[in-house]
């Protein structure tokens, strides 16, 4: 099978990209495919998407702010299934990436490492809230990381180590945490992260058992999450 996975990404605003992923190959091979099932990062509202449009190369169009592994299940008309992976790299045609954008003709000054690193976690429905937290932290020169930063082929231990090395961890919780977030919470607690901040979104959300020894904050809706994280982490981490 000579089919390749192609992608395209365009920066639309600060750290927000529109991107596409599709299949490219000989027409005879593409004609044998019935549909493709894409599995995205679990923070997407609908992380599993089926595409059946042969004319576009089974193209998936979406948007977001982070890089992650896209899993493809290619379903053939004869019943065969091929599984592939693609690392979504957010880089435009000028070579500017989601991590650093340089203005043409301007020499960048020597970079200094951020003073603090914060791991931010949320469930599928918390995508907007997690993004809001990330934005307010980056405004304060805080490095924001999450499970989506793990490169292809890296096992869970890499994510666990990343959490343990963080100066703080923010867990946005608007319902019962999924398996992935439960493991991230466990890694933060067992790794001795100094500042762990659970943010409960809504009046009826309960704090997970593993975090009940930590004082949580509660907000009425996801629109308040970013400012809450900014205020608490600023007082916890110091003048960042």
| pLDDT, tens digit (0-9, with 9 covering 90-100), for 43-87 | 787 888 999 999 999 999 999 888 888 999 999 999 999 999 999
Looking at the structure, tell me whether residues 133 and 224 fall in a common domain. Answer: yes
**Which has the higher per-residue pLDDT, 34 or 41?**
34
Number of domains in the chain: 2
- Of 117, 111, 131, nearest to 172 (Cα)? 131
Looking at the structure, tell me whether residues 170 and 71 fall in a common domain. Answer: no
- Of 65, 182, 66, nearest to 123 (Cα)? 182
Task: Kindly report the CATH number assigned to the domain that includes residue 219.
Answer: 3.40.50.10140
Among 72, 88, 104, which residue terminates a domain?
88
Q: What is the mean pLDDT of residues 5-21?
A: 89
Q: Please provide the average confidence, as pLDDT, over all residues in the chain.
A: 80
Distance CA 129, CA 122 (A): 8
> Would you say residue 202 lies in a domain?
yes
pLDDT for the residue 220: 81
Strand intervals (E) in the chain = 4-13, 16-24, 33-39, 48-51, 60-64, 68-76, 81-88, 116-122, 142-145, 168-173, 195-201, 217-219
Residue range of the domain that includes 56: 4-88
Model confidence pLDDT, tens digit, residues 128-151: 788 878 777 777 777 888 766 554
pLDDT for the residue 33: 97
Distance CA 89, CA 68 (A): 8
Kindly indicate the confidence band of residue 181, based on its pLDDT and cuts at 50, 70 and 90. Answer: confident
Looking at the structure, tell me whether residues 63 and 127 fall in a common domain. Answer: no
pLDDT for the residue 102: 35
Burial class for 182, CB neighbours closer than 10 Å (0-12, 13-18, 19+): middle
Apex CA 223: angle with CA 45 and CA 146, to 5°?
55
Looking at the structure, tell me whether residues 55 and 121 fall in a common domain. Answer: no
């Amino acid at each position: 099978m000579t089919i390749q996975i192609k992608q395209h990404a365009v920066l639309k605003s600060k750290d927000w990209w529109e991107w596409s992923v599709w299949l490219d190959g000989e027409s005879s091979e593409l004609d044998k495919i019935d549909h493709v099932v894409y599995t995205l990062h679990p923070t997407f509202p609908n992380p599993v998407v089926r595409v059946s449009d042969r004319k576009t190369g089974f193209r998936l169009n979406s948007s977001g702010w982070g890089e992650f592994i896209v899993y493809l299940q290619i379903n053939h008309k004869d019943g065969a299934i091929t599984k592939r992976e693609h690392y979504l790299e957010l880089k435009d045609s000028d070579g500017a990436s989601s991590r650093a954008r340089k203005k043409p003709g301007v020499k960048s000054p020597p970079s200094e490492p951020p003073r603090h690193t914060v791991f931010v976690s949320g469930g599928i429905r918390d995508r907007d809230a997690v993004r809001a937290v990330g934005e307010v932290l980056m405004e304060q020169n805080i490095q924001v990381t999450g499970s989506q930063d793990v490169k292809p082929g890296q096992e869970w231990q890499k994510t666990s180590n990343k959490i343990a090395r963080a100066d703080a961890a923010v867990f946005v919780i608007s319902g019962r945490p999924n398996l992935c977030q439960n493991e991230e919470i466990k890694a933060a607690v067992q790794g001795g992260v100094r500042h762990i901040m659970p943010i409960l979104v809504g009046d009826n959300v309960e704090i997970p058992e593993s975090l009940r020894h930590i004082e949580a904050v509660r907000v009425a809706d996801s629109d308040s999450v970013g400012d809450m994280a900014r205020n608490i982490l600023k007082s916890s981490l110091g003048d960042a």
